[in-house]
Chain A
């Protein structure tokens, strides 16, 4: 067991040292009989050497393998099973095999997720979590929400591509989006989770639904047999499914290189340096702290102090993000009030939207402008593209109005003609 350099802590960022052994050791898969002499040896092509691209591979020494999370046999068997399931579930003309297809694909998905669940490494114990034991209490059990969201999202994605009715496909896609935003929440990406729901489920998918309702013949299509032929049959399902799942098998193998564990608490690592650049944020937090408790925080007559330069106190704010303190001074006109050091509130950390917003504005301001231009062009393009037919509709309407007014009596004929000139 090598006290490995933890990928998710200091080493990747290259600065701070590893804090404790938490989450920083991997069990060597070979020590549990899965090495080159074990039954996995037939597929030993997945063993990665210590010179892998992953930055932690060189320092850890122990080659981490795909089979430390899932056996390749199980993975490939289930990929094949899932492929057969999708193949059966794709819409076909005569006899519908959708139900056995769904069953097969669900079995494949559940087995893969179950194996991932049971063999997942617990970074605390450095061993396999499994059911709750004395060493690994329930709090350290694998995260059940991930598996729920993953299964839900993938099942809905499968319904999207196999359902013969477009409206249902779009609705299942909304379910996929909701499950995906659940995964984003688990990844501490709260802003993107809600932005995804608002933009995708709220705007894009509604546009899709409108177009589906606009562009679908409006018979009573309750039965699948009454659907148009292009919705009832798939195009070359065998080759497409085989190619897609071969790609999936290759991808899932390649993704197993390194099998790195995610950092348990992301907020403890990245926020302080960022916070030092946001003096107003610190000041507000300290004032709020003072409002709740008189003894701490900034008093109302104090402000954040600036560094004293040749021209007076107009340098940068005196914020120490390592010690988590800030210098404040009593607010005076001359800027020479009594200074003292105040510690940040213990729970002061950058929130996800603040971090995303800072990164967006600081590092990618040009990209925002380009994105705005792209959206404007798309709006103009969509308007121009969809516009032409409306002209024809207006002409048809005018013809209809004229025909109707001719059918009526002579007095209203003149009235109809007047209306027409008004329209023109």
Chain B
């Protein structure tokens, strides 16, 4: 039943209900998510939450990249998101190893406890 399969896949159906969604809609969602991540990174003091907020900003960048890629009908945006994911995974591994190390030193996840590092 090839017809059934094609018509139920997202590629075939979802663009039809894409009416009335502009690029602005997606970029606005991306901007709001980025700003929330930024605020979280600045205000929260828990090291883990701070890194979680950077992941939130990565997500926002991904939404913008894919929306632009969709607008220009180009796969480069999606390919770039793959590399963003790669960097995010590498960053998470390293940052969390550092967090574990710092936690063992001071038994605390407080970012301000390491203010001496600023020299």
Give the B-binding residues of A (Cβ under 8 A). 7-8, 12-13, 69, 82, 86, 90, 109, 112, 116, 120-124, 129, 139-143, 145-146, 150, 153-154, 157-158, 160-162, 166, 169-170, 173, 176-177, 180, 183-192, 195-196, 199-200, 203-204, 207-208, 211-212, 214-217, 228-231, 233-237, 240-241, 243-245, 247-248, 251-252, 255-256, 258-267, 269-270, 288, 292, 347, 349, 351-352, 355-356, 358-360, 363-364, 367, 371, 374-375, 377-379, 381-383, 385-386, 388-389
Contact = CB atoms under 8 A, between A and B. Distances in A.
A421 B67 CA distance: 63
Q: Which of A188, A207, A388 has the most CB of B within 10 A?
A: A188
A410 to B, nearest CB: 38
A266 B73 contact: yes
A215 B104 CA distance: 8
Q: Is the interface of A mostly helix, strand, loop or mixed?
A: helix
Q: Is the interface of B mostly helix, strand, loop or mixed?
A: helix
Contact of B35 (A251, A364, A386): A251
B51 to A, nearest CB: 8
A191 to B, nearest CB: 7
Contact of A188 (B15, B51, B63, B97): B15
A247 B38 contact: yes
B48 to A, nearest CB: 5
Given A189-B70, A243-B42, 9 more contacts: A12-B72, A158-B36, A160-B53, A215-B109, A228-B109, A234-B44, A247-B35, A255-B28, A381-B94
A266 B72 CA distance: 9
Size bin of chain B's contact surface: 35 or more
Given A228-B108, A262-B22, A264-B19, A192 B38 contact: no
Nearest to A130: B20
B82 to A, nearest CB: 7
B93 A207 contact: yes
Contacts of A12: 72-73
8 contacts: A82-B32, A188-B11, A190-B11, A241-B39, A248-B31, A375-B86, A381-B93, A382-B93
Contacts of B10: 185, 188, 190
A235 B110 CA distance: 11
Contacts of A166: 46, 48-49, 52, 109
B79 A356 contact: yes
